Amino acid sequence: MQIVLFLIFILLVLLVVVSKNNSFSKNQKIVVTSVITVFAIGIYIYESSVGNNAEYNRDMVNAFRQGKTLTCKEYKVNKEKFLYISGTQTFMPKSSETTLTGVIVKVSTCKAD
């Protein structure tokens, strides 16, 4: 995704620079290029953040699947008491755990012990 966005950014900059001299003034070209650059940087930062969060969530799920206990807010999540729901990236208690009925724990709130 980042490569595609970078190529679109380069294309837009080239279009602004190569456009007819009388269609855009020099100042307008600078402003348009600056705006495009700011948007591209914002998109890059957002994509990097999403990628880092996804990697962290994968690490937590892998730790859970390996039998490690995770600390998620006030809950201790492990394979004996919880199930991992991949569609929502949450942990839900097994039906045998009546004291935890209704608890839903997001993977992003967990830390490996």
Strand residues in 1-113 grouped as ranges (E) = 70-72, 75-77, 82-85, 90-93, 105-106, 110-112
Tell me how crowded residue 106 is: count the other CB atoms within 10 A of its CB: 14
Structure tokens at 31: 């402003």
**Domain map of the chain by residue range?**
2-112
Question: 34-91, pLDDT tens digit by residue?
Answer: 888 888 788 888 888 888 899 999 999 999 999 999 999 999 999 999 999 999 999 9
Percent helix / strand / coil, the chain, rounded to 5:
55, 15, 25
What is the value of pTM for the model shown?
0.66
Highest mean pLDDT among 4-8, 15-19, 40-44, 97-101: 97-101
Return the minimum-mean-pLDDT range out of 20-24, 28-32, 38-42: 20-24
